[in-house]
Amino acid sequence: MLPLRETLQRLAMRLDLDFRNPALLDQAFTHTSYVNEQRGKSIEDNERLEFLGDAVLQLVVSEYLFRRFPELAEGELTRMRSAIVCEPSLVRFAEALGFGDAVLLGKGEERTGGRTRPSLLADVFEAFVGALYLDQGLDAVRAFLERNLFAHLPEKGQADKDFKTRLQEKVQTLGFAAPEYRVVEERGPSHDRHFVVEVLIAGRAAGRGSGRSKKEAEQQAAERTLKMIETTDLSEWR
E strand or H helix at 199, and its extent? Answer: strand 194-201
CB atoms within 10 A of CB 69: 15
Angle at 157 between CA 153 and CA 163, to 5 degrees: 60
Which is catalytic among the residues 126, 198, 218, 223?
A: 126
> End-to-end CA distance of the chain, in Å?
47
126 has catalytic annotation: yes
Q: CA nearest 124: which of 55, 45, 43?
A: 45
Q: CA nearest 223: which of 175, 148, 165, 151?
A: 165
E strand or H helix at 205, and its extent? Answer: strand 204-211
Which is catalytic among the residues 26, 50, 54, 87?
A: 54
Q: CA nearest 227: which of 166, 155, 160?
A: 166
Q: What are the catalytic residues?
A: 54, 126
